[in-house]
Structure formats: C-alpha cells, structure tokens
C-alpha cells in the first residue's frame, strides 16, 4: 500500500529536510498535511484549521481526502451540529499518524541527529573558486 518514504528539498533559502510519505503519485503525509492535522486537533474545525494555515477550505478537504484514501481508515472525521456540537476531530489513526510523523521529524532534526547535520554540512561546503 505505502510505497516509499522520501526526504526532499523544496524551495527554501537554506537546505533542510522535509519528510514525506508517498504512495503511488500522492504525497500521503508531509509537512503541510501534518500541520493541517495539528491545526484540526487544536481548532476542532477544518475551516478554522485551513484558515489558520492560509489555505482554502476546499484545499484542506483535498489534503484530508488524500490521507483518508491511502490509509486504512480515516484520519479526520466530522460531526454535524453547527458551532456548538459540530466540527472535526482526529480519529485514533489520525492521532497516531501525526504522532509518528512528528517523532520521525524529531529524529531527523539536525540539532540532534549527527547524520542529518553532516549531510547538510556537505551542501554548505562550496568549492573554492580560483582567484
């Protein structure tokens, strides 16, 4: 089901690690999706979480749908009932996925991971140019 675990560098001013879980052609979990899960966890709302992250409600739902399609059970579920009883919440699987993703991020943090620090140092080393 889940085909690979990759780290990629995208458009950043300095090199850094980004942990992404990829299945087929979809990023099942990455930094943005983890941030969305965290925001849903503390706001209790897909709309509020999306707004907090500067994305549309539709985009938030698309990210959730991608995770829900690839994992064995939904990571986010919703309740109807308006502002008093409605909203969204992480399922037990959603909580576990977020916890494990954040744990892997911590293990790869260059502050604590010698290998990550050394690999990034290789990118910072520039060859000397002749004068």
pLDDT attached to residue 62: 95
End-to-end distance of the chain based on CA atoms, in angstroms? 54
Domain extent listing, the chain = 28-117
Contacts of 20 (CB under 8 A, 6+ apart): 5, 6, 7, 8, 27, 29, 30, 31
**Fold of the CATH domain 28-117:** Arc Repressor Mutant, subunit A (1.10.10)
pLDDT exceeds 50 at position 36: yes
Q: What is the predicted pLDDT for the residue at 72?
A: 94
Total-model pTM: 0.77
pLDDT score for 82: 59
Q: How far apart are CA 99 and CA 29, in angstroms?
A: 12
Q: What is the pLDDT of residues 61-115, one digit of tens each?
A: 999 999 999 999 999 999 887 556 679 999 999 999 999 999 999 988 888 889 8
């Amino acid at each position: 089901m889940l085909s690979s675990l990759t780290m990629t560098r995208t458009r950043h001013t300095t090199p850094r690690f980004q942990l992404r879980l990829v299945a087929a052609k979809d990023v099942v979990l990455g930094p943005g999706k983890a941030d969305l899960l965290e925001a849903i966890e503390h706001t209790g709302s897909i709309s509020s979480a999306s707004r907090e992250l500067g994305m549309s409600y539709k985009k938030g739902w698309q990210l959730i749908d991608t995770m829900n399609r690839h994992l064995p059970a939904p990571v986010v579920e919703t309740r109807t009932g308006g502002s008093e009883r409605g909203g969204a919440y992480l399922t037990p699987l959603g909580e576990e996925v977020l916890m494990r993703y954040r744990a892997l991020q911590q293990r790869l943090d260059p502050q604590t991971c010698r290998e990550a620090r050394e690999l990034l140092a290789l990118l910072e080393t520039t060859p000397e140019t002749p004068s």
